[in-house]
Amino acid sequence: MLVKLIKYEFKDTSRIIPFFYLITLMFIGIVLFATESNIMWFRMTSSILLLFIGIAVSVITWVIIVIRFYKNLFSNEGYLMFTLPVKTYTLLTSKTIVSICWTMLSNIIGICAVLIGMYGLGIAEDLVLISEKLSEYRLDYIILCVIILVMLESLYLLCLIFFAITISNRSSFHKLGIAGAFIIYIVTNIILQIVGSLFSIFVPISLDLNIVNEISISLTFENMFGYLLDTFRGIEPTNVVIGLGGVIFELIMICVLFYITLENMKEKLSLK
């Protein structure tokens, strides 16, 4: 059943999302062509547009996924989906898997678009310099980490909005309507950001950046608080400490939010 649900989920979302990929690819083609042609204004304009499009792809994908989630489960179509002989867990998982796929694909295409946009603007050489510098210090895995963090953040935002939409469907929140989902999303986001920041500062797992002699990064079991205190006092830092607690928190919250979303779908469903 999971496979069937995934199949239909892809089928129905493929009606819209790839359309934006097409636009992005078109613009990538335009920028590449513009760069060859060397017409300055054309090259600049199209590259800047491409930068925006690169970011827009991820945003639009997120919006489409969110609208689809709401429409397919909590509007009229919900009457169809929730009477299918499948477990609620299967329903939620199929949507999550497909959403993750589209999100990752959009992120990749978005990043490519941004990179090509930068290339069009002529900033590409600087990027190449930075990456060479990084490999000199054997830190090129940082790029990979950045990409993973971006994916994590996307996944986190997805879980958060799924959570908000599902909670806003509870009987007690019916009065709020669609606005309820937004409100819950914003409120939960703010609360979790605050808690996440506290985790970053106080959880004793951090990255220690040594920037004095050479650039090296190591994992330490100190928390960020000391470093921040020093900075406030105006003491020159020898090392930069970046707390990883926030990332750990996000990982935990993804599981927690998923679980709460599932439980609410199972036990507190109240379709209008």
Footprint on this chain of other proteins (rule: CB under 8 A): 1, 4, 8, 12, 15, 76-80, 82-87, 170-172, 174-175, 266-271
Kindly tell me the burial class for residue 229, based on how many C-beta atoms sit within 10 Å of its own C-beta (0-12, 13-18, 19 or more).
exposed
Chain position carrying tokens 């996944």: 155
Of 220 and 268, the one with the shorter C-beta distance to other proteins is 268
CB of 218 to other proteins, least distance (A): 50
The H-or-E segment that residue 29 falls in is helix 17-37
Beta carbon nearer to other proteins, 45 or 88: 88
For other proteins, the closer of residues 19 and 202 by Cβ is 19
- Closest CB to other proteins among 113 and 165? 165
Shortest distance in whole angstroms from residue 174 CB to other proteins: 7
CA 186/CA 244 separation, integer angstroms: 24
Cβ nearer to other proteins, comparing 82 with 225: 82
Start-end of H helices in 75-169: 78-81, 88-121, 124-136, 141-167
Shortest distance (Å) from residue 220 CB to other proteins: 48
Q: Residue 210: in which H helix or E strand, if any?
A: strand 206-210
How near is the Cβ of 77 to other proteins at its closest, in Å?
6
> How far is CA 52 from each of CA 46, 116, 117, 224, 252, rounded to the nearest angstrom?
10, 12, 9, 35, 32
| Residues facing 243 on adjacent strands | 206
Smallest distance from other proteins to CB 92, Å: 14
